Structure 1
Amino acid sequence: MRLPTPLHVVNEGLAFLLELAALGCLAWWGWQRVEPVALRLVVAVAAPAAAAVLWGLFAAPKARFPVPLPGVLAVKALVFGAAVAALYGVGHPAWAVAFGIVALVNTGVATMDRRAAMHG
């Protein structure tokens, strides 16, 4: 069953915010935990940039290289999993768990909604 339009829009908006939050978590981790200090800025920029490039190439709605759903879900798992690890790494295990649960539920709902739209 397809989500009603307002719920679809809310879920897609949440997905975008989660993607931005994941990039922010990776930058935060790079800035807080990387040693030596001289590498902090490099990692704080490179980690989210690498995640954004990976997402844009394979997981974005208009991905440069469209892959089947399992590939898209693998990229999302990698990026969101890295964000969860980053949150844990900066000393926020409860936030890491909460972020992981919200990302998992959001991705699951979006996947079911897209499948229903394709078959409906």
Structure 2
Amino acid sequence: MSLNPAMLALRLLLELTAISSFGICGWRAFDSPWRFILVVVLPVAAAALWGTFAVPGDPSRSGAAPVAVPGPVRLVVELIVLFGAAAALWIAGLPQWALICTAVLVIYHALAYDRIAWLLTTAPAA
């Protein structure tokens, strides 16, 4: 189910929303000059975390893994980035969007149960 083109498109939108949410948080949550730095640093850090740690042969990605990790570690990274984005929206003073984001993430993960099962059973990287 998780490799269905519609699910992959939804996953891409969730990833882009997550990256954007960290930027929104950096801009809205800080009034100091730090906001100009955080609006760039937070999304870049989230994108780096997302793109760096991967399971080799992940069918939803290119299969390449800059830093190979076992499936459960990748699942934790995904949950931190995606649900962290909902928290970032909450911190940014957008609780409605945070709740909508959380609801969509819960529904996505319920539908992508096969990916979660695969990640949980993937052996550690060699």
User: Normalised by the shorter chain, which TM-score bucket?
Assistant: 0.7 to 0.9
Is 2:32 aligned against 1:30? no
Q: Distance in 1 between matches of 2:66 and 2:102?
A: 26
Give 1:107 shift.
3.3
Is there any run of 5+ residues in structure 2 with no aligned partner, and where? 56-60, 119-126
Q: Calculate percent identity across the aligned residue pairs.
A: 33
Is 2:75 aligned against 1:79? no
How much is the aligned-residue C-alpha RMSD, in angstroms? 2.3
Runs (4+) of structure 1 exceeding 2 A deviation are 59-63, 107-111
Which residue of the partner structure matches residue 89 of structure 1?
91
Which residue of the partner structure matches residue 16 of structure 1?
12
Q: Distance in 2 between matches of 1:4 and 1:94?
A: 27
Q: Distance in 2 between matches of 1:64 and 1:105?
A: 29
Q: Is the 8 A contact 1:15 1:107 kept in 2?
A: no
Which residue of the partner structure matches residue 118 of structure 1?
none
User: What TM-score do the two structures reach when normalised by structure 2?
Assistant: 0.76
Could you tell me which of 48, 51, 72 is aligned with 1:53?
48
Q: Distance in 2 between matches of 1:82 and 1:67?
A: 20
Q: Distance in 2 between matches of 1:113 and 1:77?
A: 13
Is there any run of 5+ residues in structure 1 with no aligned partner, and where? 116-120
Could you tell me which of 88, 107, 113 is aligned with 2:109?
107
Q: Is the 8 A contact 2:52 2:66 kept in 1?
A: yes
Aligned residues: 111
Mark the CA change 1:86 to 1:66 in structure 2 (over 3 Å): closer, same or farther.
same
Is 2:66 aligned against 1:64? yes
Mark the CA change 1:30 to 1:57 in structure 2 (over 3 Å): closer, same or farther.
same
User: What TM-score do the two structures reach when normalised by structure 1?
Assistant: 0.79
Mark the CA change 1:72 to 1:111 in structure 2 (over 3 Å): closer, same or farther.
farther
Q: Distance in 2 between matches of 1:83 and 1:47?
A: 10
